[in-house]
Amino acid sequence: MPVYVWWCHHWLDATHPSIRLHQAWSASLMEAAQLEAEFLSVCFKASSDVVRCLSDPRALQNPAVLGQYYQDAAKKVADAHGERLGRVSQLPKEFRQRLWEEIC
């Protein structure tokens, strides 16, 4: 095991900038994936609330209640999207630059 630790230490040393770049990119990618997973979770919960409303016969007969369920679900998704955009704008500048380089 000590040889493996020694090898990993030198493998990640400053002589291998591509590995460090890959590590930084992977960390940024994981952060972005986590943001998307959190947003999708909110979308799932909001759609579950709408489905729960649609399965309630009393709610289907009351347009005000039905409208409120839809408005609440839309507000949850809109708020989560706004938060997601705010957090994405805080991602490291290097990641945004690499992202644009990949896109362009």
pTM over the 0.75 mark:
no
Name residue 78's amino acid: A
Q: What is the pLDDT of residue 72?
A: 95
Q: What is the pLDDT of residue 17?
A: 64
What is the per-residue pLDDT across 17-49, written as a single tens digit (0 to 9) for each?
A: 666 667 667 777 888 889 899 999 999 999 999
C-alpha span between 97 and 93 (Å, rounded): 6
Q: What is the pLDDT of residue 30?
A: 85
| Residue, of 100 and 46, whose pLDDT is higher | 46
C-alpha span between 101 and 36 (Å, rounded): 21
Question: Any idea where the domains of the chain sit in the sequence?
Answer: 36-104
Q: What DSSP designation does 13 have? A: S
